[in-house]
Amino acid sequence: MINSPEIISEIFRYNVPLQKYTSFRTGGAAEIFVEPLGVLELKRVLRFCKDEQKKIFIFGKGTNLLVGDNGVKGVVIHLGGINFKNVERDGRYVLAGAGVNLPKLIRTVALSGFGGLEALTGIPGTVGGAVMMNAGGKYGDISDTISSLATMTFDGTIIRYMREDVEFGYRDCNLSEQIVIEVEFQLNESKIEVVLEKMDEIYNEKQENQPLGTFNAGSIFKNTSQYKAAELIDRAKLKGLKVGGAVVSEKHANFIVNTGNATSSDILELMRIIKETIKKEYNVSLEEEIHIW
């Protein structure tokens, strides 16, 4: 009874446009969109998906996602429920729910006199999304600060991992088909002003080099072991290249900006042209960093 589709479907929203949720502000609708309150409800949703053979999509804050114009057929699960937004600190450890807003967490931690997360300044999104992406940059990655985490598998089992049990790579990790539900970080004691100063420094640097305040999804392609994607795209003189309402940023060549009326197809076409040009001119195959649904 508890898992019956009727009971679960009360929290479902149907045909929800994802455009308004993604940082690109493009993309079609989710067949079903659901925001479980906490782990018990999440488990019931997953059970429903299994019984009804629905495809599962996990949505953080959509800051690294390109959703196709036709949307997604299946259940989009957004960990926006109150119980996924808890933050608890115990000495040098902070436990955060997967739905916690990463920039807010970084600030809260800094203001309580702890450092460790400031390397992630300027990265939007949720804690769960950042873990899945192993978000970071030249000052460090989120995996540097994680001490343990918990996931729920698509069949509803909770697994707890110590940091060393998870493989983190360049903008990925080996937790596929699992939903990050909470993460514990190990911080280091620091002076509030030192951490805030570092945050300001990193933020100012990003503001100078990235088209902040526009509709984008961060870096589109991964750097290769030899080359930075932005440098190759810049060298190929692709800055300013447009398809429909999508343009290669003049400020950062590895960012594509939706100038207001871009579709996801415009962005995909621009990405295709960039990849083709870089392959032709430098014989380098660029790989997407953003996830495409």
* For ligand FAD, the closer CB: 58 or 277: 58
Note if 281 is an active site residue: no
* For ligand FAD, the closer CB: 56 or 196: 56
Instruction: Give me the least distance between CB of 10 and ligand FAD, in Å please.
Output: 23
- Chain residues binding ligand FAD by CB under 6 A are 23, 58-65, 79, 98, 123-126, 128-130, 132-133, 135-137, 171, 179-180, 210, 212, 216-218, 291
* For ligand FAD, the closer CB: 113 or 211: 211
Instruction: Give me the least distance between CB of 273 and ligand FAD, in Å please.
Output: 21
284, two tokens: 């380098």
* For ligand FAD, the closer CB: 7 or 292: 292
- Active-site residue identified among 171, 184, 249, 264: 171
- Active-site residue identified among 35, 182, 184, 289: 289
Note if 4 is an active site residue: no
User: Distances in Å between the alpha carbon of 195 and those of 141, 183, 209, 222, 289?
Assistant: 16, 21, 21, 28, 29
* For ligand FAD, the closer CB: 194 or 292: 292
Note if 25 is an active site residue: no
Instruction: Give me the least distance between CB of 111 and ligand FAD, in Å please.
Output: 21
Instruction: Give me the least distance between CB of 130 and ligand FAD, in Å please.
Output: 4
Residue 245 CB partners (closer than 8 Å, separation 6+): 258, 259, 260, 261, 262, 263, 266
Instruction: Give me the least distance between CB of 259 and ligand FAD, in Å please.
Output: 15
Do residues 244 and 285 lie in contact, with contact meaning Cβ atoms separated by under 8 Å? no
- Active-site residue identified among 148, 219, 249, 264: 219
User: Distances in Å between the alpha carbon of 275 and those of 42, 93, 210?
Assistant: 38, 42, 21
Location of structure tokens 């305040």: 213
Residues in the chain: 293
Residues acting as catalytic residues:
171, 219, 289
